[in-house]
Chain A
Amino acid sequence: GAGVSQSPSNKVTEKGKDVELRCDPISGHTALYWYRQSLGQGLEFLIYFQGNSAPDKSGLPSDRFSAERTGGSVSTLTIQRTQQEDSAVYLCASSLQGAVSSYEQYFGPGTRLTVT
């Protein structure tokens, strides 16, 4: 079946502009995650959605970052007033999620964001 898809694959933006990154999870996966991969910081968790529960936003680095998930499926990560330190690859992952177990997360190809 189809894997996790992300768009755009590359985004170049000027400092101070807002950007939106999109993630389409695997059909039927109830959990969706956003991570960021940068040279200096490695792979960092940003935000986690599980079903209709309130998202876990504990990894968001500042209030310029926000995300939503509509209809329990597609998610959008928004970065406002982008800064050069926001340059990174933004990865989305989805998984099944049980009450008593944690399932493997499947990752999308990522969006490479460059802030000039």
Chain B
Amino acid sequence: AQKVTQAQTEISVVEKEDVTLDCVYETRDTTYYLFWYKQPPSGELVFLIRRNSFDEQNEISGRYSWNFQKSTSSFNFTITASQVVDSAVYFCALSENEKRQLTFGSGTQLTVLP
């Protein structure tokens, strides 16, 4: 069965610090998909990124970057030069080729202090 673990329940940083959110996953499928979502205080889940299991290339989008490592079953998310607007709950999620629904981690509450 699939499982996603986000061991960091809460992280607090000061604005402009870099912060990494950890995500470890378990799956028996050889084809799977990994996602990150942001849930700001308004409550709506916002899609950030999707990664396919066969593509281990890391990705950078502005201040956001993602490090996917199959060897350690991890898909970590780094925010560079954090801003107060980055404060939110961040969820890592997994879907498999046969079961397309998302299995979510428990989320990491990120607070960026001014």
Number of residues on chain A facing chain B (CB within 8 A): 25
Report Cα–Cα, A59/B104, bound state, in Å: 13
Report Cα–Cα, A74/B43, bound state, in Å: 22
Number of residues on chain B facing chain A (CB within 8 A): 21
A45 and B102: CB pair below 8 A?
yes
B100 and A89: CB pair below 8 A?
no
Report Cα–Cα, A45/B104, bound state, in Å: 9
Q: Does B50 contact A (CB under 8 A)?
A: yes
B44 and A48: CB pair below 8 A?
no
* B45 / chain A contacts, CB cutoff of 8 Å: 91, 93, 107
Q: A42-B106, A104-B35 are in contact. Are A109 and B44 (CB under 8 A)?
A: yes
- Chain A residues touching B, majority SS: strand
Report Cα–Cα, A86/B38, bound state, in Å: 24
Q: Does B52 contact A (CB under 8 A)?
A: yes
B33, B100, B101, B102: residue with the most chain A Cβ atoms closer than 10 Å: B101
B104 and A42: CB pair below 8 A?
yes
Report Cα–Cα, A45/B100, bound state, in Å: 10
* A100 / chain B contacts, CB cutoff of 8 Å: 97
* A43 / chain B contacts, CB cutoff of 8 Å: 91, 102, 104, 107
* B107 / chain A contacts, CB cutoff of 8 Å: 42-43
Report Cα–Cα, A4/B7, bound state, in Å: 30
Closest 9 pairs between A and B when the two form their complex, measured CB to CB: A107-B45, A43-B104, A45-B101, A102-B33, A104-B50, A104-B47, A102-B95, A109-B44, A48-B101
The interface of chain B, by Cβ under 8 A from chain A, is: 33, 35, 37, 43-47, 50, 52, 91, 95, 97, 99-104, 106-107
The interface of chain A, by Cβ under 8 A from chain B, is: 31, 33, 35, 42-43, 45, 48, 50, 56, 59, 89, 91, 93, 97, 100-110
